[in-house]
């Protein structure tokens, strides 16, 4: 099924509006092009809604948040909502500052998100669980591992229910959940955390998958997470003994450019959670 969802991205070539941070914006643009979508970045309040209106999906990312662009985020989000286009939130650094936490919460009030993607500290901070995000990185205590997976899945499903969005919590194991079910994904490689922006790129990619498959937000998000993870694996395998995180960054995007729907279908390591859901 993930192969089919990816085929839709390639065939429909959705135009994705990103209001995103200036650290990783170039990588997000190239990742969108690599998967077959087209990026357009526009963060001024004067044009945000209009640009959202000509696109098929919107990605809101609060890395390097500044107060000037918050109204652009809400205006674009509302327009996308009116049109029924999926909106993805990447709450970069929520829990690390009051501005980020409060802005993310404000956006969740103003906009109906199809997907919210972050690390466990970021998502916990949006759930009022009092996380202390380590800058833009997950706090050590919050890391999702095989050991605490049941609890993390339950939290993700709870968050999905409360927020109304598909919850994507990335870590050593990635969780993609709505209120009724959850997928656990074990693609990816630790080197990805040494490449700035792999999370942002995944959020952009999730926007492309959701826009091309608007009726399947849960499966679209899971497919995007698997695709990104597979590209991380390919990127890592390609590294020679002089390569580091800069070359790996290129290899990951290259891998998406080369990834076929069939490879995604076959390489996706995604299992439906069927363990006990221990509600928090």
Residues that bind a second copy (CB under 8 A): 15, 17, 21-27, 29-30, 33-34, 38-44, 46-47, 50-51, 54-55, 63-68, 93, 96-100, 132, 134-137, 194-197, 234, 238, 241-247, 249-258
Q: Is 35 left (phi over 0), alpha (psi -120 to 50) or beta?
A: alpha
The residue among 29 and 88 lying less far from a second copy, judged by its C-beta, is: 29
The residue among 242 and 272 lying less far from a second copy, judged by its C-beta, is: 242
CB of 60 to a second copy, least distance (A): 15
Which residue in this structure is represented by tokens 């509302």? 78
CB of 75 to a second copy, least distance (A): 12
The residue among 257 and 271 lying less far from a second copy, judged by its C-beta, is: 257
The residue among 126 and 255 lying less far from a second copy, judged by its C-beta, is: 255
The residue among 1 and 194 lying less far from a second copy, judged by its C-beta, is: 194
CB of 20 to a second copy, least distance (A): 9
Q: Three-state SS string across the chain, please?
A: CHHHHHHHHHHHCCEEEEECCCCCHHHHHHHHHHHCCEEEECCCHHHHHHHHHHCCEEEEECCCCCHHHHHHHHHHHHHHHHHCCCEEEECCCECCEHHHHHHHHHHHHHCCCCEEEEEHHHHHHHCCCCCCCECCECCHHHCCCCCCHHHHHHHHHHHHHHHCCEEEEECCCEEEECCCCEEEECCCCHHHHHCCCHHHHHHHHHHHHHHHCCCCHHHHHHHHHHHHHHHHHHHHHHCCCCCCHHHHHHHHHHHHHHCCHHHHHHHCCEEECCCCCCCC
CB of 99 to a second copy, least distance (A): 4
CB of 13 to a second copy, least distance (A): 9
CB of 88 to a second copy, least distance (A): 17
Nearest to 206 by CA among 91, 90, 107, 73: 90
The residue among 13 and 149 lying less far from a second copy, judged by its C-beta, is: 13
CB of 178 to a second copy, least distance (A): 30
The residue among 218 and 224 lying less far from a second copy, judged by its C-beta, is: 224
């Amino acid at each position: 099924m993930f192969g089919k969802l990816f085929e839709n991205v390639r065939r429909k070539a959705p135009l994705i509006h990103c209001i995103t941070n200036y650290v990783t914006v170039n990588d997000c643009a190239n990742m969108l092009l690599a998967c077959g979508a087209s990026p357009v970045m526009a963060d001024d309040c004067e044009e945000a809604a209009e640009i959202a209106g000509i696109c098929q999906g919107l990605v809101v990312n609060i890395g390097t948040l500044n107060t000037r662009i918050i109204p652009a985020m809400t205006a674009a989000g509302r327009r996308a909502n009116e049109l029924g286009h999926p909106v993805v939130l990447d709450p970069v650094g929520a829990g690390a500052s009051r501005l980020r936490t409060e802005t993310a919460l404000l956006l969740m009030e103003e906009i109906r998100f199809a997907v919210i993607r972050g690390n466990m500290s970021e998502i916990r901070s949006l759930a009022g669980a009092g996380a202390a995000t380590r800058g833009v990185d997950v706090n050590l205590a919050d890391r999702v591992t095989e050991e605490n997976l049941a609890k993390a899945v339950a939290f993700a499903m709870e968050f999905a229910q409360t927020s109304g969005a598909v919850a994507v919590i990335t870590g050593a194991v990635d969780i993609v959940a709505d209120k009724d079910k959850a997928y656990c994904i074990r693609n990816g490689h630790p080197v990805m955390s040494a490449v700035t922006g792999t999370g942002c790129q995944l959020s952009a990619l999730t926007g492309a998958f959701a826009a091309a498959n608007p009726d399947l937000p849960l499966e679209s998000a899971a497919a995007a997470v698997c695709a990104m993870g597979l590209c991380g694996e390919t990127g890592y395998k390609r590294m020679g003994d002089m390569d580091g995180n800069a070359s790996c960054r290129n290899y990951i995007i290259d891998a998406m450019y080369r990834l076929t729907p069939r490879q995604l279908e076959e390489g996706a390591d995604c299992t439906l959670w069927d363990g006990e859901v221990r509600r928090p």
